[in-house]
Structure 1
Amino acid sequence: MINLTLSHRISKVTLSTSISIFCLLVGSDNLINFNANYQFVQHVLSMDAMEPWFDASAFEYRVITNPTFHLISYYVIIFAELLAGTLGLIGSVLMAKHINNPRFSQGQAFFLLGGTVAISLWYLGFAVIGGEWFSMWANQWNGQMKAYTFATFILISMIYVLVPTPEEK
């Protein structure tokens, strides 16, 4: 018979696995179809595709047109996606392996680390730095809403995965 504690832990494993696979797929897709999102990084950092109503002249000192810096930035993004997914998946496996014992929390810790990398990437990297420093919100290549969506869902999931598991009475 399944109980509340077990079902709660199964849902945590399932959610953390889903998020980890998402991060791994995003990172691997960026490697497989490298140019698609590399163009995104180039345009955001170069600030060369701004909406016509936006006067970017006040922010010219923020523009980065160096292709080497574009490549490094893109590789850092891909690395962070793959690292977040790997840490999260390690956490999911550990949670599943220790689903009925106190070592379940080791998996939660790994998932928390992976989630922290993901939030750092999509919130700090895309929403804050990309969105505000490079004015991505006024760029035709605007990924800010996706970044907010990813960061919000991952943060809510991190909170849920850390909620204490109900104990049987």
Structure 2
Amino acid sequence: MPRSRPPELMSLRISSIFSRCSLFISCPRPLPILKPVTHGKSEPATRLLSYMTVDKLETLHKPSTKTAEDITCNSVPAHHQHLHYKLQTLLFAPREPYFWRSHDMHILTTAHLIRWCKVTIVLMVGVFGVLVVFSNLTDYPSNYEFVGHILSMDTTQGNGSLMYRAITSEMMHHRFYWMIMTLESIFTACCLLGTYQLYRKINAPRKEFHEAKKYAIAGFMIAIFIYYFILQVIGNEWFDMDTSPQWNAMGWARGIVEFLMPALFFLVMKNDH
């Protein structure tokens, strides 16, 4: 005849089984399914679950501030401690957010499209800088003449009392022109490098993508310094450029700044996650 068991023991075992089933069903974050992995002649790693009581499993699936080191299993035999460590690693290791997994980014989402828009805007500014630098180098006399007339103030029609501000030295004209070309080359290089950095991090987490914006932001700020501060502030307010009927770059510089400022605000915004 089969050996009889006390009713108290049977009820305890049945309640333990139902508790385990309800734990795994109601768990908001399913526990990973362990595959039978053997280490030498030891038992499978899945048998570690048999050493863990219901209270300890509830502690694992409830949100708390405890770490894997705070939760220990004293009932695990010594020869299974390495398997217990692997189980804790699976349960508590930081996981990559689901949205930013590389195999899911082939789906075009709104955040992904915003990132591509930012890369495209930085690339357009970089291409603009390449064309400006190429024009300055290949057509040096024409652009130098433009800078020379602004600095010498020989075509302005304003108050004659402002002529003391004029710079008539040709050497200073060349130096001023080369300073502008150097700054334009720097902002072009920063924008092109920023485009490459943003493209590399197009599928990265939002913190890495935001950190990749630093070269593009530097390029935009240098461009704003050239076309707003140098041309509009110094060229217009000090050298009275807007009164010249021919050598006047106010409209051209204003259009560039009106594009760069909103583009810079759009670039630095964290709306791409």
Q: Does 1:79 align with 2:182?
A: yes
Equivalent residues, number: 164
Match of 1:93 in 2: 196
Query: Could you state the TM-score of these two structures normalised by the residue count of structure 2?
Result: 0.58
Gaps of 5+ in 2: 1-106
% identical aligned pairs: 29
Q: Specify which structure has the bigger relative contact order, considering alpha-carbon pairs within 8 angstroms and separated by 6 or more residues.
A: 1
Residue aligned with 2:202, SS: coil
Match of 2:134 in 1: 28
- Residue 115 of structure 1 and its aligned partner are, at CA, apart by 0.6
- Is this contact kept in 2: 1:92–1:107, CA < 8 A? no
- Residue 135 of structure 1 and its aligned partner are, at CA, apart by 0.1
Find the aligned partners of 1:160 and 1:116 in 2 and give their Cα distance: 14
Of 119, 128, 152, the residue aligned with 2:224 is 119
Greater gyration radius: 2
Gaps of 5+ in 1: none
Q: Does 1:39 align with 2:145?
A: yes
Of 97, 106, 111, the residue aligned with 2:211 is 106
Query: Could you state the TM-score of these two structures normalised by the residue count of structure 1?
Result: 0.93
Of 95, 116, 120, the residue aligned with 1:10 is 116
**Which segment drifts farther, 101-110 or 83-92?**
101-110
The amino acid that maps onto 2:155 is A
- Residue 165 of structure 1 and its aligned partner are, at CA, apart by 2.7
Find the aligned partners of 2:132 and 2:124 in 1 and give their Cα distance: 12
The 5-angstrom pairing of residues 90-169 of structure 1 reads 90-101=193-204, 102-139=207-244, 140-167=246-273
Residue aligned with 1:103, SS: helix
- Is this contact kept in 1: 2:112–2:272, CA < 8 A? no
Q: Does 1:58 align with 2:164?
A: no
The runs of at least 4 aligned residues of structure 1 exceeding 4 Å deviation read none
Residue aligned with 2:213, SS: helix
